[in-house]
Amino acid sequence: MTQITPDQILAQMRQLTQAAQSQTSNPVAGSANSSFTDAMSSALKTVNQYQMEASNAANSIERGDGGVSLVKAMIASQKSSVAFDAAVQVRNRVVSAYQDIMNMPL
């Protein structure tokens, strides 16, 4: 079983920070829109992938196949649940921001 250490999390955060800083400091509005769209699309594809893996693992357990353990199926299920909850929270924040912008006086 692989354990995630705080050092691994910090290393990933540093890599993401460096990647964000390496982008141009003054992006064109079209490319910013494109990068947001690409990021959301990528995140939703990842959520879908996690849900498919969890579904396949659950089906394998139900059929009694020996290839997947109950522990791995539960981990896949929890990973899928956390990813979906995060996607819903991002959607809620985007909708809230949109509503705030639409309610601003001109």
Indicate the pTM of the whole model.
Answer: 0.62
Question: What pLDDT is stored for residue 23 in this prediction?
Answer: 62
CB neighbours of 81 closer than 8 A, spacing ≥ 6? none
Question: What pLDDT is stored for residue 66 in this prediction?
Answer: 76
Mean pLDDT of the chain: 82
Torsional class of 64: left (φ above 0), alpha (ψ -120 to 50), beta (otherwise): left
Instruction: Tell me the mean pLDDT in the region 20-33.
Output: 57
Per-residue pLDDT of 3-23, as tens digits, reads 767 777 777 777 777 777 776
Per-residue pLDDT of 47-92, as tens digits, reads 999 999 999 999 998 888 877 888 888 999 999 999 999 999 999 9
CB neighbours of 73 closer than 8 A, spacing ≥ 6? 54, 57, 58, 60, 61
**Distance (Å, rounded) from C-alpha 13 to C-alpha 33?**
23
**Distance (Å, rounded) from C-alpha 20 to C-alpha 23?**
6
Residue 2: pLDDT band with limits 50, 70, 90: low
